[in-house]
Structure 1
């Protein structure tokens, strides 16, 4: 329905005035948003897969460098579905989870201590940076020689890569407090524990959770690095072994498994973020 209004001063009728629709815009369903998001995420792998199939089917590259998709699929069926790599996959997953947990705990505790004890940060943090600068592929053989071919060297290297982004984010979050908010907490007589619980901790968690994606990938990369150097089990060991035999299809199959593991860990971190209460982690 439309209406016209006459200007009493001029006697002219202005342009037609349409009523404003007061209804809020309808939002798409959750399924529609999910399907749209998944569709966008599938664009890149579909394009890469088509390009991979095209180049290998036309013989544009050697099979030793880029094997055909069918050969990689056969390798996945032979080694993965038949259970030949089960022990290696579990070893890598176990090492990654322990590395992530150790790095997370040490990063949060160390970041909190250095945020509140300036002298500790001055004394220790430069050495943390120096150790982080060491190429892990260079020091991994030392840990293997010292500690054997089990999970301990993998956890140490993996935790060192997961530790750094967490400790940096924790320090930044605990120290990045708005002066006005801090003054408000003081004016209402809040204790240090209340200030930590209601002001500093939520701010720190908003820094820490984005760093966990980097930390969990770092843990996985550290574990694979040690396995490539030399361990009894692990996907890194499989890469080294299959590459030595020229089985590039199996190497690509392992890379696909590692990509799937990385994506799964990212999803787990995202679910943990959503599960945390808003009072602790602002969404």
Structure 2
């Protein structure tokens, strides 16, 4: 009778299977990208859509090369990319910290949640693009209005996740800890915080992308630098290809920020950050 596969062989087989699945998924995604670019090329070349709405891909590529390879003095975009990323980073950090603090207060002090939560919801429901002009009037055209808008968009997902994660604990586990006479700190450290991280950490992804969108939206309203400012300038001068290039840069930045959160989640220990189900096996 032949022996069954060893544990190492089983793990190796599963790893190879996941590797093949990733390659297959990547190949499928690249195929879709190639098909979309081909459709874009033929639509623009045959003027299926007006060039004022859909420029040719080669013109967009030229704008990308000019913006990414030229120096700031010659019209390059790197200085503006740095401004937008600075606003995004500050808004994300401030918004996330405020979200964690307010979420904890709402979770542990029910009267505060009852009194203020509806007003927080109402504030977050306001279109941020409508608030931006007021902030620009109050604080000028520097970083402050953009950081405030970015902070607002980062705050809400983290706050709601922290409130839910710190409140939604297993009653049996909570009763067990109290029966063992665990202190409030032990209850927070060993029960509520680990439970909350499964809610809070995924919200960082949403908060970071929200901060980027908030910064760009505020720059569109009024700024002297940043990617939103370049978009408004492209609109004013009718540079459609340049606007498409800037949108591609923004999409790439959003993807990179998403990857950054995924990398942090993978690097940190599982006791701090919960892993995706396929990684924890």
| Alignment TM-score > 0.5, same fold | yes
Structure (1 or 2) with the larger CA radius of gyration: 1
Distance in 2 between residues matched to 1:85 and 1:125, nearest whole Å? 41
Does the C-alpha gap of structure 1 residues 40 and 100 become closer, same or farther in structure 2, counting only changes over 3 Å?
Answer: farther
- Displacement of 1:275 in angstroms is 2.2
Spell out, residue by residue over 1:152-209, the C-alpha distance to the aligned partner (whole angstroms, 9 max, x if none): 0001001101100100000000011011111221223322111111111011110011
Distance in 2 between residues matched to 1:40 and 1:112, nearest whole Å? 43
Q: Corresponding residue for 2:247?
A: 255
Does the C-alpha gap of structure 1 residues 274 and 71 become closer, same or farther in structure 2, counting only changes over 3 Å?
Answer: same
More displaced 10-residue stretch of structure 1: 77-86 or 130-139: 77-86
- Residue 139 in 1 paired to residue 139 in 2? no
The 5-angstrom pairing of residues 268-283 of structure 1 reads 268-283=260-275
Counterpart pick for 2:48 among 57, 60, 63:
60
Counterpart pick for 1:151 among 129, 143, 147:
143
Supply the RMSD in Å over aligned alpha carbons.
1.8
Spell out, residue by residue over 1:98-134, the C-alpha distance to the aligned partner (whole angstroms, 9 max, x if none): 1111111000111011100011111221111111111
Distance in 2 between residues matched to 1:41 and 1:202, nearest whole Å? 35
More displaced 10-residue stretch of structure 1: 34-43 or 101-110: 34-43
The 5-angstrom pairing of residues 118-137 of structure 1 reads 118-137=110-129
Q: 1:198–1:279: 8 Å Cα contact kept in structure 2?
A: no
- Structure 2: runs of 5 or more not aligned: 276-281
More displaced 10-residue stretch of structure 1: 156-165 or 80-89: 80-89
Q: Corresponding residue for 2:163?
A: 171
Q: 1:56–1:63: 8 Å Cα contact kept in structure 2?
A: yes
- Residue 209 in 1 paired to residue 196 in 2? no
The 5-angstrom pairing of residues 66-81 of structure 1 reads 66-81=54-69
Q: Corresponding residue for 1:264?
A: 256
- Displacement of 1:74 in angstroms is 0.3
- Structure 1: runs of 5 or more not aligned: 2-18
- Displacement of 1:33 in angstroms is 4.8
Q: 1:103–1:160: 8 Å Cα contact kept in structure 2?
A: yes
The normalised TM-score by structure 1 is 0.89
Q: Corresponding residue for 1:27?
A: 14
- Displacement of 1:279 in angstroms is 1.6
Q: Corresponding residue for 2:174?
A: 182
Distance in 1 between residues matched to 2:167 and 2:153, nearest whole Å? 23
- Displacement of 1:34 in angstroms is 4.1
- Displacement of 1:22 in angstroms is 4.7
The normalised TM-score by structure 2 is 0.89
Q: Aligned with 1:27: secondary structure?
A: helix
Spell out, residue by residue over 1:39-60, the C-alpha distance to the aligned partner (whole angstroms, 9 max, x if none): 3443443332222112112221
More displaced 10-residue stretch of structure 1: 54-63 or 67-76: 54-63
Q: Corresponding residue for 2:278?
A: none
- Residue 228 in 1 paired to residue 185 in 2? no
Counterpart pick for 2:192 among 190, 200, 213:
200
